[in-house]
Structure 1
Amino acid sequence: MDAAARAREIVKRLRPLYPVLTPALDYHSAYELLVATVLAAQCTDARVNTVTPEFFRRWPDPAALAHAAVGDVEDVVHSTGFFRQKAKNLVAAARRMVSLHGGTVPDTMEALTALPGVARKTANIVLSNALGKNEGIAVDTHVRRLSFRLGLTSSDNPIIIEKDMMPLFARKDWGAINHLLVLHGRAVCKARSPRCDACALGDICPRRGL
């Protein structure tokens, strides 16, 4: 089975196992998902979800955040780690959204990745989940691990992994495959002790048993 056929089979087998394909981060708008995804770097989604209610109460949109003092934002996001850089980037991103995009989250990869603190992974998550646009595949820790184990890439570089994976999956599935691999990585194909005997992909995984 070549990589393209394997990719089709992965989607076919995992979709019934994980019917709900949404981020674990709590959000109600593209702005909220953008903020939450930036805060989730090197932090658990659960922790971020305890921080964002107060964050959005104080700064409910880019215009409000653009006028925030960075020190005040630091205080609110402190528990997410790397809080100084995250606060600095979020305020700067909000100011750019206000000055260049009318106070809204831009809807293109180019404009999103021009925002401070926003790389392709974050942009892909926002575009796919909040704006309904599949411009690429978000490569996080789980996608990085499973894409290698499943023989979809030979690289550990997220940029190269994304380029390797995009031709293998239908564009309509680019957003879904991130969720499917994240969920499967958490439930079955774990980093240290993958449950290969319980894996629905066991017979097509080229690195079964590692």
Structure 2
Amino acid sequence: AQTAEDARKLLALSITELQWATQPGGGGTQVVGTFTPAVQKSVEDAALKQNLTTLHNRVNELGVSEPILQQQGSDRIVVELPGVQDTAKAKDIIGRTATLEARLADPINTHPNPNDPVPPGEELFTQGNQAPVLLKKDVIFTGDRIIDASAGFDDHQRPSVNIRLDSAGGRSVRAVSRENIGKPMAMVLFEKGKGEV
């Protein structure tokens, strides 16, 4: 128990974004971290801002001259589209769902030239910083295999997203990982037929 308390204190000093506590579990004592209220609010605010931006971009596709997008509380966004006649089209565009795919990255050609031919079995995408990246066409799993996702930190204390997959998704990752140890994997978000890593 004292070792767990010492670990809790050390973690509290080094990872201040989380509140650390000890609790019984696993035949001993576990150290558990949860986001501080300030970090939790920051994550929620960022998600809401991202949703507003996504909705604004989708509403722009409709060509509405003065759309109104307003945040109501911490979990609601109101969209008003004055003059829109085709409500079915508006609902389709606003409610469109992006798709997510996991793929292996090309472990050799890590900085491809976008003007060069794309190797067979691969596709060229752009990362968030617009850098080109080559990914295998084979999909390891899709977003519908994700049961849960949460923010966390990797082994180097960098922010990460931890995902939990259903059994079929887990089997796919296990099979691919077994044959590709140490090779990078990427998540591709598709919206309007365009993929971004």
Measured against the shorter chain, the TM-score band is: under 0.3
More helix per residue: 1
**TM-score with structure 1 setting the length:** 0.22
Structure possessing the higher radius of gyration over alpha carbons: 2
More strand per residue: 2
Higher relative contact order (CA 8 A, sep 6+): 1
